[in-house]
Amino acid sequence: MNSKLIFGIAKSLLLARWRQTLVAAVGVTFSIAMFITLLSFMNGLNDLLDGLILNRTPHVRLYNEIKPSDNQPVNAAAEFKGSYNFISSVKSGITRQEIYNSGPIMQAVKDDERVLGAAPKLTAQVFFNEGTIEITGVINGVDVEEESRLFNFKDYVTAGTAIDAKNVANSIILGKGLADILVADIGDVVQVTTIQGERFPLKVVGYFQSGIQEIDKVQSYASIGTTQKLMGKPANYITDIQVKLHDLDMAPAVTQEYAKLFDIDAEDIQTANAQFETGSNIRSLISYSVGIVLLIVAGFGIFNILNMMIYEKMDSIAILKATGFSGRDVNRIFLIIALSIGFFGGTVGLLFGFVFSVIIDNIPFDTAALPTVETYPINYSPVFYFIGGSFSMITTYFAGFFPARKASKVDPVEIIRGK
């Protein structure tokens, strides 16, 4: 009964000065809308930029690194056991790049329930022959279907069809930059020389465009079988196992586990791409700060308007108190006024924020470097709406807190005598 009455009084006071109320609410609406739009856009951009690298980077990469043995013979010799041995000019031993026992490892990894999928890969250093000129390049042998499923390979094949790399024998998908240098159209045949010196004709079935030009000038893709044939290796020869997990954050732990379990070199995505994480974090930080500053400014607007309202309503406050409303009741009335400005302004702001996001999402954004992107990127995460909504309530609460306290302390005697 009491709270219903207090809500009723707050509503009447609000509506009695609806223009002022509107101005205050518009301030909140504007800042919330900007907050949502800014964060959605910034995070969309972050996701896009991260996606450029991270989507195509395995969460865990298993490989065999060519490096000198940690266990040099002198350390094993009994007579030098107690001494500290300095060895100069250590060379790598005869280690193979190949992953030993790749089949069972693949099976074990795929059976792990934390793993979304695993794709084999092998890389071959080659020369592309353009007349008399030799251009260095890398051919990645991939399982096209798994690669598409896990690392969005298909999206980056801008011309031709990705699956042709598997279905057409001796075929290759060239990086766009590389294809431009080789002047190779789809359907043409390019000559490739392996480091062993063998020449191979490969048919171009598509172009690949990653968005990073340096990569496109060097990389190209072929099926695993084609690449193995090119290198003269058997069908179980692979150099990398790329693992994608359900949860990216688990990568470091899983990486350590696999390294120990399979006695293999392993690298997680966080180590491989630390700089991207930093970039995204700082961009998020900037957009959050701007958004919060906007809200604080709106909060000051509400503070001012409530303060003015209290001066204007001194008489009303005095009479409410004289007729039996306590300081707490008056305090609640003004807090409710502030919070309803925050609530309604904020709700409309969230709506506008969404509308602005949709508008930005539909603005064409054509760039040669990003073949998969047609419009500006937006991240519609509900988290932003939740933060925006709660922040509008929190700022308006604080904006209302001091004026409401002041109103609750109004001494009715002073007001009534002062007339």
Q: Which is nearer to another protein, 16 or 285 (CB)?
A: 16
Q: How far apart are CA 256 and CA 79, in angstroms?
A: 34
- Among 50, 112, 257, 315, which residue interacts with another protein (rule: CB under 8 A)? 315
Give residues 75-114 in contact with another protein (rule: CB under 8 A): none
- Interface with another protein by CB under 8 A: which range of 1-9, 108-116, 199-207, 385-393? 1-9
Residue 329 in contact with another protein, rule: CB under 8 A: yes
Q: Which is nearer to another protein, 257 or 315 (CB)?
A: 315
Residue 319 in contact with another protein, rule: CB under 8 A: yes
Distance of alpha carbon 53 from its chain centroid, rounded?
10
Q: Which is nearer to another protein, 4 or 91 (CB)?
A: 4
- Tell the smallest beta-carbon distance from residue 306 to another protein (Å): 16
Q: How far apart are CA 172 and CA 169, in angstroms?
A: 9
Q: Which is nearer to another protein, 264 or 335 (CB)?
A: 335
3-state class of 362 per DSSP?
A: coil
Residue 19 in contact with another protein, rule: CB under 8 A: no
171-175 and 199-208 as β-strands: parallel, antiparallel, unpaired? parallel
Q: Which is nearer to another protein, 5 or 90 (CB)?
A: 5
- Interface with another protein by CB under 8 A: which range of 46-54, 229-237, 327-335, 379-387? 327-335
Q: Which is nearer to another protein, 263 or 411 (CB)?
A: 411
- Tell the smallest beta-carbon distance from residue 395 to another protein (Å): 26
- Among 85, 152, 326, 362, which residue interacts with another protein (rule: CB under 8 A)? 326
- Among 166, 176, 321, 332, which residue interacts with another protein (rule: CB under 8 A)? 321
Residue 325 in contact with another protein, rule: CB under 8 A: yes
Q: How far apart are CA 98 and CA 236, in angstroms?
A: 9
Residue 3 in contact with another protein, rule: CB under 8 A: no
- Tell the smallest beta-carbon distance from residue 307 to another protein (Å): 18
- Tell the smallest beta-carbon distance from residue 334 to another protein (Å): 14
Residue 324 in contact with another protein, rule: CB under 8 A: yes
Residue 16 in contact with another protein, rule: CB under 8 A: yes
# residues near another protein by CB under 8 A? 28
Of all helices (H) and strands (E), which one includes residue 53? Answer: helix 18-54
Q: Which is nearer to another protein, 282 or 416 (CB)?
A: 416
Q: Which is nearer to another protein, 3 or 289 (CB)?
A: 3
- Tell the smallest beta-carbon distance from residue 14 to another protein (Å): 9
Question: Would you give the binding string for another protein spanning residues 352-391, x where CB under 8 A is met?
Answer: ----------------------------------------
- Among 74, 195, 322, 394, which residue interacts with another protein (rule: CB under 8 A)? 322
- Smallest CA-to-CA distance from 385 within 341, 362, 353 is with 353
- Smallest CA-to-CA distance from 334 within 359, 360, 311 is with 311
- Interface with another protein by CB under 8 A: which range of 12-20, 65-73, 149-157, 176-184? 12-20
- Interface with another protein by CB under 8 A: which range of 42-50, 215-223, 284-292, 310-318? 310-318
CA distances from 339 to 19, 276, 391 (A): 17, 40, 11
Q: What residue ranges bind another protein (CB under 8 A)?
A: 1-2, 5, 9, 12-13, 15-16, 315-316, 318-329, 411-413, 416-417, 419
